[in-house]
Structure 1
Amino acid sequence: MDTPDADGLLAEQLLRLTRRVHRIQKRQLEKRGLGITPAQSRLLRTLAHYGSPPRMADLAERLEVVPRAVTTLVDGLEASGKVRRVPDPTNRRVIRIELTDDGRGALRELRAARRTAAEDILAPLSDDQRKVLGGLLNTLVDGMGAVEAPRRDC
């Protein structure tokens, strides 16, 4: 008789939870009518953490995606007025990406949608369980730094 693969079962549970998180966040985004995909929301959140407008290559590296994926995301966000391309003041060949006022407003809505989704997902857990889960997830995320993650399309 085969014994269950404990690590395989854990991996499957994590994948199922990740899919659930994505579904709930997507539903929250749709409810708010922002017209932003989960990948675009990730780019906006990442962009907000830069002090000065980053290059698209910087965004691709931070997001761990191929540069063409960032170009596609920026194109969509620029078309909806959430970001704009601006020339680098020191090198005219370099283009940087900055948030617009509309993009900052969308970020506020995105944060509210994420909070609502997190409340929904974490509702079954007590405060102590949430702390334990947070510690375990931090351990896993920190451990990922030692392993080179492949770049992916968004």
Structure 2
Amino acid sequence: MADDEEETLPETFWGVAHQLRHLRKKTLAPWDIAPSQARALGVLLREGPLRLSELSDHLRIAARSTTEVVDALQDRGLVERRPDPQDRRATLVAPTGEGTQVGAAIRASRDAEAEAYFSILTEAERADLTGILRKLRRSEH
């Protein structure tokens, strides 16, 4: 592998992304939950009950993929489908009590792992990095 100083910006970025993916898998291992399932559970805990189409939009994945993620979470008893009180034809997906507990535990574990990972940065560096990454995420590229 090339010396860190010789890496290009994209190489360095993807190296950090790889480290973070590995860290996420390690953090999720105690719950035997896939990253896509953890993301969906996190969205539901943050946003409250959602229709599948709304959850798809939040996750930025196809409706079919969202259905597979929700099915897996429902099989584990972490979410439930229930009628939408605003539209009887629609269904909402909501975390169960167990899903709320598991989601909160995952969030706490991920926060602790992220804190450890980013601890080498100063508060100013963290703020700069956060701003840069948000700017990149908002871009249309």
TM-score range, shorter chain: 0.7 to 0.9
Is structure 2 residue 74 aligned with structure 1 residue 75?
no
Q: Which residue of 1 aligns with 2:28?
A: 29
The match for 2:84 among 88, 91, 103 is: 88
Question: Structure 2: any 5+ residue segments left out of the alignment?
Answer: 1-6
Of all paired residues, the percent bearing the same amino acid is 30
Give the helix-richer structure, 1 or 2: 2
Aligned AA (1:71): T
Question: Where do 4+ consecutive residues of structure 1 move more than 4 Å?
Answer: none
Structure 1 residue 87 displacement after superposition: 1.4
- Whole-Å Cα distance in 1 between the matches of residues 69 and 108 of structure 2? 21
Is structure 2 residue 126 aligned with structure 1 residue 130?
yes
Question: Structure 1: any 5+ residue segments left out of the alignment?
Answer: 1-7, 149-154
Query: What is the TM-score with the length of structure 2 in the denominator?
Result: 0.86
Query: What is the TM-score with the length of structure 1 in the denominator?
Result: 0.79
Is structure 2 residue 42 aligned with structure 1 residue 45?
yes
- Whole-Å Cα distance in 1 between the matches of residues 67 and 88 of structure 2? 18
Conservation of the 8 A alpha-carbon contact between 1:78 and 1:84:
yes
**Larger relative contact order (Cα-Cα within 8 Å, sequence gap ≥ 6):** 1
Conservation of the 8 A alpha-carbon contact between 1:25 and 1:113:
no
- Whole-Å Cα distance in 2 between the matches of residues 50 and 133 of structure 1? 26
